[in-house]
Every structure is written in structure tokens, then in C-alpha cells.
């Protein structure tokens, strides 16, 4: 029974594909992989916009949206109809294109954001046997298409011919290139340990249990450090607070999409959230064991439920972080990327190598844990202190 539920969607797809003639089956099979991904993650995007606004409201001791429900009735659904109203609003708004803008680039930018982001989903394993394309170099593919989103942001910023847009785009490029490095390097540690770039194989490597606890990478010193580095840099890659400097409503209005309205703006919004889900999904795959259960007595829960549960949890943490941390300044952002994140990511690779070649039995195990944790914690403290001395209270010599 549990196995059937686990393979429910795989079986459904096989059953549906069986209705079509032999020649059509590969095409239908691909379509039946794409459509659910767009539907499920599009739906998750819609729900997340409401949950985010409600969560941020609660963090600020407000109620958040709680009115929009089913039209023409008194049913309010706790405000979860909000995204429908927002979607209709975005669709019927006027699409303003600045006269001086480069029309083609301005038009292509939102598409150039959504398409690579959706491509990223094609290699993520959402459950057991549930990966759209089992690429040997899935991780490489993900990072490659992920880097394509930077182009879109710069297209939007430059094509609009607006100074705020260009400033936002330049900030976005500087930020994303700086944080791409720790993102990839923290993922590299996983590749070193598992010896594969294929995401389903990385999940399989974590699908083992010592006692009842799973072999998730996050339960090791290098894995924990890598996971934290990965989450921080994925926040920056997704342009989310506290790294939302490219948008920075209070400084440069909305950065690179200042000249976008209506549905194009909605596409940017969608692309950003889909990018966030994709990168969170990759984080789950690399460090949180993908679709595997944390304890062996929980394996009866279907694999796809584990994946979605972990994804929703990470998104909730992202919202929580957004409600807590204020935006970084440009120089703080760069300092943090190059003087803290990058050295820590490099050290993490050294630790992963050490972990791989040291013993796993008895006393060796404890020594390995202590040495690896020490190599990470001591530089963390030292680098952290060096970083914090930068944030002294500013003294105004003449103005005070």
C-alpha cells in the first residue's frame, strides 16, 4: 500500500501514456512531466504569495490579508482568494512600454527569466523515480541554467533605458556573481563525497540509515556548514531579503523591473518565486536527503510528500528571515560574500576531503568529528570577528 501511494504519480503517468499510440508516447510522456511541474509549482507560487503576506503581517503584529474569498458570497477562506484577485489585476492592467526602451529586449527579459528557471526543475528528483530527466550531470545543468537568469535581469535593466533599472541590474549582476561562487562551492563538497553529479544518485547516497537516523549530509560537519552557506547564497541568488538590494524599493524603487507593469511584472514575480523554489529544492536534494525520510520509522510517508514538506518548510524559513533581517548595504554585501562566504566555502571543501579520507569506526569517528568541526568553527569565529569590526558605530566628526 505504502509503495503504491509512493509511486502513485509514476503509475498514473504510465497509465495515461498507455492510451496513446506508440509513436506519440515519448512526446506525451514529456508533456505529462512538464504540465504537473508548472501546475504544482505555479500553485505553490500562488499560495506562497498569500502565506508570505500573512506571515509577514503576523511577524509585525498585523492580521495580513484575510478578506478575499469567493466572489459574491460571504465565504472568505481566510484571505486565500487573494492571489486570484492579484492575478486578474495583473492580467487586465495596461502594459506600459517606455518610448525609449529597447522594445525587443524589454519584451524578452521576463521570458528569459521564467524559461531557465523552469529548465532547472527538469533535473530535480521530486520523489522516488520522479525525476523528469535523469541527467548524469544534473547538478552542472542546474547551475548552468541558473546562471542564465542573470542575463534576464540585465536585459530588463538595460532594455528599459531607465537609470533606476540600470542601477538595479548592475547591483543584481554584482550580487549574483559574488554569491554564485559560494553556492557552487558548497554544492561541490557534496559532489566530492558522493562522487556523482546526478541528483537522483546524490539522493540515493543519503538514503541509508545508521540505527534510525538517515545519512543526510546535513548531519555531518561539512554538510551543516555547506547547507548554511548554500541557504545564504541561495537567498542572494533568489534576490530575497536580506539580499534584495537589486530591488530595494526604498532606494531605487524596484530596481530592474521598475518599467514593467501588468503581466510582464507578474512574470518577473513568478520567475523569482519559481527560482526560489528551485534553488530550495536543490538544497533539499544536496543536503536534506531529497525525498528520503529523516528516520527509518517514517519511511511509510510517500517520498514526494517528504520533498514537498521540506520545500514548504524552507520557504517558510525564507519568509521568516525576510520578516527579521533588514537589507544589507552594497559594501556589506560584497564584504560578506568575498571575506566570509568564499573562505568558508573553500574551507568546507578541505573539510569534506578530510572527512572522506578519515576513519569511520570507534575512536576514529569521534576524532574525525572533532577535527572537522574545529576546522570549521575556529575560522568561523575569526572571520566573524573580522567582519564585525567593520560594523562599528559610525562617528560623525563634524555633524554631531
Partner 1 sequence: MLGTGILQGMVETARNFVGSYTDEARLTTVEYPEQRIPLKEATRQFPFLVFDGSDPQAGLRCVACQICEKECPPQCIFIEKSKDKKPDYIGKPQFYPATFDIDISVCMSCQICVEVCPFEAIKMDNEFELSTTDRFGGLLTHKQQLAKPNEHYHKIHPTEAAEVDARLAADKAKAEAKAKTDADAKAKAAAEAKAKTAASPFPAIPVAAT
Report the site for partner 1 in 50-69 (rule: CB under 8 A).
Answer: 55, 58-63
Among 23, 381, 392, 395, binds partner 1 (CB under 8 A): 381
Using the minimum distance from each CB to partner 1, give the nearer residue, 212 or 324: 324
Answer whether 150's CB lies under 8 Å from 238's CB. Answer: no
Which C-beta is closer to partner 1: that of 103 or that of 390?
A: 390
d(CA 238, CA 271): 9
Q: Least Å distance between CB 222 and partner 1? A: 18
- Angstrom CA distances, 216 to 136, 194, 353, stand at 21, 12, 17
Distance in angstroms (rounded) separating the CA atoms of residues 54 and 83? 12
Q: Which residue has the cell 569506526?
A: 361
Nearer to partner 1, 179 or 304 (CB): 179
CB of 382 to partner 1, least distance (A): 10
Burial call 293-323: b when 16+ CB within 10 Å, e when fewer: bbeeeebeebbbebbbebbbebbeebbebbe
Report in angstroms how near the CB of residue 175 gets to partner 1 at its nearest.
Answer: 19
- Are the C-beta atoms of 246 and 153 separated by less than 8 Å? yes
22, 94, 331, 388: which one binds partner 1 (CB under 8 A): 388
Site string for partner 1, 322-341 (x = CB under 8 A): -xxx--------------x-
Interaction of residue 383 with partner 1, rule CB under 8 A:
yes
State the nearest-atom distance from the C-beta of 383 to partner 1, in Å: 7
Q: Rule CB under 8 A: is residue 26 a binding residue for partner 1?
A: no
Per-residue cell: 336: 560578506
Task: Give me the 297-326 binding string for partner 1, x by CB under 8 A, dash otherwise.
Answer: -----------------------xx-xxx-
Closest contact distance (angstroms) between CB of 110 and partner 1 is 32
Please pick, from the candidates 360, 385, 393, 397, the single residue that binds partner 1 as defined by CB under 8 A. 385
d(C-alpha 168, C-alpha 183), whole Å: 22
Q: Which residue has the cell 535593466?
A: 157
Nearer to partner 1, 172 or 344 (CB): 344
Grid cell, residue 345, equals 566555502
Contact 127, 149 (CB under 8 A): no
Give the three cell numbers for residue 357: 579520507
Which residues contact partner 1 (rule: CB under 8 A)?
Answer: 55, 58-63, 320-321, 323-325, 340, 380-381, 383-385, 387-388
Amino acid at each position: 500500500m505504502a509503495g503504491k501511494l509512493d509511486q502513485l504519480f509514476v503509475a498514473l503517468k504510465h497509465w495515461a501514456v498507455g492510451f496513446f499510440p506508440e509513436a506519440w508516447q515519448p512526446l506525451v510522456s514529456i508533456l505529462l512531466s512538464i504540465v504537473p511541474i508548472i501546475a504544482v509549482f505555479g500553485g505553490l507560487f500562488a499560495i506562497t504569495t498569500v502565506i508570505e503576506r500573512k506571515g509577514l503581517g503576523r511577524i509585525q503584529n498585523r492580521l495580513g490579508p484575510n478578506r478575499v474569498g469567493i466572489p459574491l458570497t460571504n465565504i472568505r477562506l481566510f484571505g486565500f482568494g487573494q492571489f486570484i484577485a492579484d492575478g486578474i489585476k495583473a492580467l487586465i492592467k495596461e502594459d506600459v512600454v517606455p518610448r525609449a526602451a529597447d522594445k525587443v529586449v524589454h519584451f524578452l527579459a521576463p521570458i528569459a527569466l521564467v524559461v531557465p528557471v523552469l529548465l532547472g526543475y527538469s533535473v530535480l528528483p521530486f520523489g522516488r523515480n520522479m525525476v523528469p530527466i535523469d541527467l548524469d550531470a544534473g547538478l552542472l545543468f542546474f547551475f548552468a541554467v541558473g546562471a542564465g537568469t542573470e542575463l534576464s535581469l540585465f536585459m530588463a535593466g538595460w532594455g528599459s533605458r531607465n537609470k533606476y533599472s540600470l542601477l538595479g541590474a548592475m547591483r543584481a549582476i554584482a550580487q549574483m556573481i559574488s554569491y554564485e561562487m559560494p553556492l557552487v562551492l558548497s554544492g561541490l563538497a557534496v559532489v566530492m563525497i558522493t562522487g556523482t553529479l546526478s541528483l537522483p544518485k546524490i539522493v540515493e547516497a543519503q538514503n541509508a540509515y545508521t540505527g534510525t537516523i538517515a545519512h543526510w549530509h546535513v548531519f555531518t560537519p561539512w554538510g551543516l556548514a555547506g547547507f548554511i552557506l548554500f541557504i545564504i547564497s541561495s537567498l542572494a541568488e533568489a534576490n530575497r531579503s536580506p539580499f534584495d538590494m537589486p530591488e530595494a524599493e526604498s532606494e531605487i524603487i524596484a530596481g530592474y523591473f521598475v518599467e514593467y507593469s501588468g503581466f510582464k511584472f507578474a512574470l518577473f514575480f513568478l520567475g523569482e518565486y519559481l527560482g526560489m523554489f528551485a534553488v530550495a529544492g536543490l538544497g533539499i536534494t544536496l543536503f536534506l536527503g531529497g525525498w528520503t525520510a529523516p528516520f527509518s520509522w517514517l519511511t511509510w510517508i510517500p517520498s514526494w510528500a517528504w520533498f514537498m514538506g521540506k520545500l514548504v518548510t524552507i520557504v517558510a524559513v525564507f519568509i521568516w528571515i525576510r520578516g527579521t533581517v533588514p537589507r544589507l548595504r552594497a559594501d556589506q554585501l560584497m564584504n560578506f560574500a568575498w571575506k566570509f562566504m568564499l573562505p568558508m566555502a573553500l574551507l568546507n571543501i578541505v573539510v569534506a576531503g578530510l572527512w572522506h579520507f578519515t576513519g569511520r569506526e570507534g575512536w576514529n569517528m569521534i576524532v574525525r568529528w572533532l577535527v572537522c568541526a574545529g576546522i570549521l568553527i575556529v575560522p568561523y569565529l575569526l572571520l566573524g570577528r573580522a567582519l564585525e569590526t567593520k560594523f562599528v558605530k559610525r562617528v560623525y566628526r563634524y555633524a554631531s
